[in-house]
Amino acid sequence: MIFKALRSNIRVDDSTFDDLYPSNIKILGHRHWTPVDVAKMAATYLVQHPNDKILDIGAGAGKFCLVGATCTEGIFYGVEQRESLVEISNEIAQKHQINNVEFIHANIDQITFSDYDAFYFYNSFYENIDTSCPIDNSILPNQELYYSYTEYLR
């Protein structure tokens, strides 16, 4: 029902959308995942033509890509270093038959930016500086990574 509502331009609030996720991922939504309204607005802005390729840098749980793929004619790619989040995102896309989205388990420095038409970046590297709300313990915060990733992105 969530994706049908989004396709019909019916507002979906974040708590409803975040119910798609396991509880340990859902509780991180307010801090780490893009709000639905922002995702929809940004995706609409970024997709200028059908089949534009949009890369979400540090896709996390895939919320931006899932919303964008549902609300536009773009093709969304989310790169995420946590394999568990890539698996969750792919499962949601598969279950809800969202075919214009793909989640990639990789690090940002393994991505060729010229393969994409536009980029979405929502505070992805900041977890290396602000350790007050970790996503999980699989990746240890490292301030040098913040600067390294930021420089690579720039």
What average pLDDT score do residues 28-36 get? Answer: 86
Q: Are 16 and 79 in contact (CB under 8 A)?
A: no
For residue 31, pLDDT beyond 90: no
C-alpha 70/C-alpha 93 separation (Å) is 10
Residue 107 lies in a domain: yes
Residue 85 lies in a domain: yes
Residue 112 lies in a domain: yes
pLDDT confidence bin for 95, thresholds 50/70/90: very high
23 DSSP assignment: H
Q: What is the pLDDT of residue 54?
A: 98
Three-state DSSP class for residue 85? helix
Q: What is the mean pLDDT of the chain?
A: 93
For residue 8, pLDDT beyond 80: yes
Residue 40 lies in a domain: yes
Residue 108 lies in a domain: yes
C-alpha 104/C-alpha 22 separation (Å) is 20
pLDDT confidence bin for 135, thresholds 50/70/90: confident
Residue 129 lies in a domain: no
CA 15 to chain centre: 16
pLDDT confidence bin for 79, thresholds 50/70/90: very high
Residue 133 lies in a domain: no
Helix boundaries (H) for the chain: 2-7, 14-18, 23-26, 29-32, 36-46, 63-71, 83-95, 143-153
Give the percent of the chain with pLDDT over 90: 75
Q: What is the pLDDT of residue 91?
A: 98
Q: Residue 110's domain spans which residues?
A: 2-123+138-153
Q: Is the pTM of this model over 0.85?
A: yes
Among candidate residues 38, 31, 20, 29, the one with its CA nearest the CA of residue 93: 20
For residue 45, pLDDT beyond 80: yes
Number of domains in the chain: 1
Residue 20 lies in a domain: yes
Q: What is the pLDDT of residue 132?
A: 79
The CATH number for 109's domain is 3.40.50.150
Q: Of 55-59, 76-80, 83-87, 133-137, give the lowest mean pLDDT range.
A: 133-137
